Chains A and B, each alone.
Chain A
Amino acid sequence: MSVDAAQVRHIAKLARIAMRGGEIDALVPELNNILGWIEQLGEVDTSGIEPLAAVIPAKARLREDVVTDGDCRDAVLANAPAAEHGFFAVPRVVE
């Protein structure tokens, strides 16, 4: 499988990374090079093999349903590029 410029543009959109035409064009051969290389996995017979879920068998744990954190709004907002009235501020999304 290989990708063309339209597909790379679509992937960039899915990944939410703005890219100019030049960047897209440069990425096409780069990604195809890497995709061509990883395609050697096609040689491996994996019929009847379950995809790996965890390297070290461990069962999922439940913790006590108690509050262990919180009441730290200012600390949570301290690193925000924009915060107003105790909330994260973002560009307008609803007109």
Chain B
Amino acid sequence: MALITDLGIAGLREGLGKGDFSAREVALAFNGAVAAAKGLNAFLVETPELALAAADRAEAARKSGTSLPLSGIPLGIKDLFATNGVRTTAGSRILGDFVPPYESTVSAKLFAAGAGMLGKLNMDEFAMGSSNETSAFGNVLSPWRRSDGGNAPLTPGGSSGGSAAAVAAGIVPGATGTDTGGSIRQPAAFTGICGIKPTYGRCSRWGIVAFASSLDQAGPMARSVRDCAILLEAMCGYDAKDSTSLDQPVPAWEAGLSSDLKGKRVGVPREYRIDGVPAEVDLLWQRGADWLRDAGAEVVEILLPHTKYALPTYYIIAPAEASSNLARYDGVRYGVRVPAEGGLAEMYSATRAAGFGAEVKRRIMIGTYVLSAGFYDAYFTKAQKVRALIVQDFARAFEACDMIATPTAPSAAFAIGDKANDPIAMYLNDVFAVPASLAGLPAMSVPGGLDAQGLPLGLQIIGRALDEQGVLNAGLAIEERAGFTARPGAWW
């Protein structure tokens, strides 16, 4: 029999159902794997006791015939989600030892569905980063290494880097992530796992530390498309506590999974062919189109003319919203306080100087500038107009196709330190991910294969608003044909 930690969520559910192992054995196996993987630095807080308590509830539910969809499944939770009684830092020093007296809606829904918590996962500070290097608590290392024998530590991507590394290493069967401009999809691609960002508004943002509120969406990261569907169903749903929560029923995505794409048209956007992208990425993209054709879809070329403006648009809107959202960290209500000579304003400034890292300060500064008197229209209003054009591009494209297939990222994982001193090179990592974020569309990354250095590459499927089913189904068609079974060797 396979090791418990080799199983994903569907596999664990089946094994628990057949009595192959108990929920307690599952919790113990993953607690052990988490404790033994300190070298990845994926966890900021470990909560083995919470995983065991949930396992005991799962055992009791099984005996009384009241099992829930995620009974006996332990998960990792990104540290952006407020967890009642468990320290939540968003990867930042400024939150100090903040212990929320409340639970985020998404994590509460997962726990109400029977899931347990293995701990809180490391991430880029306030989710601002594409490599996990901006965390105040150290880099997360990817479990993957290049096949050249060199042991250069690689980034798991970001900002959900702890989530991606933990799932890829098999120390959690699934994890929550959040995606503002690619933070679920890019790390999923870098680590050879699946991750889906649903339509904006599907997951409540309540209790998720805010970065850019018009873009932030939660979503699951797991080893298979089916596992993502299972978790997504539990995470989504209307929440009166989030004014942008969609009042829509949550479809039975898992039951609706089908890799038969007959009658579907898949768009391949011409503008996503950009200079400087390795041939292997292009090749995988073509192979992905062939797989979708093999599944019955018709592949058509489409146009998304404003694609090249998506990143600069994003780097106005996201910092603007962040500068506003992060105004709350003032050393008064929670987190650290740094006393300063003078008065209240000096205390605010000293606290924020000591509490925020360099990338967060950089984005607050840009956001403050583009929102300041005299510059607001030139930057922020302009960006919101270009964003409207990007939304329009997608609307037109979806007249000609049902979903869009692209690479997830312009390269495989890079080495830690490679892009740390060049913010724009780092931002370019999300060139394929950001347009769907700006348009609020559901988008998923699934592993497609390995590059010549033995590192995973991902394919992205973007769907119409609310068509997570179409995205998952196309993802499943790729998954079935890619036959991606590679796993990193356990060096940690």
Contact = CB atoms under 8 A, between A and B. Distances in A.
Interface of B: 96, 98-99, 101, 199-201, 214, 240, 243-244, 246-247, 306, 308-309, 312-313, 315-316, 323, 327, 330-337, 339-340, 343-350, 352-353, 356, 361-362, 364-366, 368-369, 372, 375, 378-379, 381-389, 391, 423-424, 438-440, 465
Contacts of A93: 343-344
A67 interface: no
A63 B383 CA distance: 32
Contacts of B365: 8, 11-12, 15, 17, 27, 31
Contacts, number: 160
A58 B388 contact: no
Contacts of B424: 33-34, 37
A34 B315 contact: yes
Contacts of B362: 27, 30-31, 34
Contact of B347 (A50, A54, A90): A90
A55 B214 contact: yes
Given A11-B365, A27-B365, A18 B353 contact: yes
A39 B244 CA distance: 30
Contacts of B243: 60-61
Interface residues of A, number: 53
A36 to B, nearest CB: 9
Given A33-B423, A93-B343, A18 B350 contact: yes
Contact of A16 (B199, B247, B349, B389): B349
Nearest to A74: B101
Nearest to A50: B388
Contacts of A72: 101
Nearest to A75: B101
A58 B384 contact: no
A88 B347 CA distance: 14
A18 B352 contact: yes
B384 A52 contact: yes
A6 interface: no
Interface string A5-31: 001100111111111000000010011
A49 B389 contact: yes
B388 A51 contact: yes
Contacts of B323: 15
A13 B315 CA distance: 21
A76 B102 CA distance: 10
Contacts of A27: 362, 365
A14 B345 CA distance: 11
A14 B181 CA distance: 26
Contacts of A76: 101, 333
Nearest to B312: A38
Leading 5 A-B pairs by shortest Cβ distance: A55-B440, A51-B384, A81-B337, A79-B334, A46-B385
Given A16-B348, A38-B312, A56 B386 contact: no
Given A31-B369, A79-B334, A88-B332, 18 more contacts: A11-B365, A15-B352, A15-B365, A18-B340, A18-B349, A27-B365, A31-B362, A34-B423, A38-B315, A38-B316, A42-B382, A55-B214, A61-B240, A72-B101, A78-B99, A79-B335, A81-B332, A91-B344
A76 B99 CA distance: 11
Nearest to A57: B465
A17 B352 contact: yes
A40 B310 CA distance: 11
A58 to B, nearest CB: 7
A81 B386 contact: no
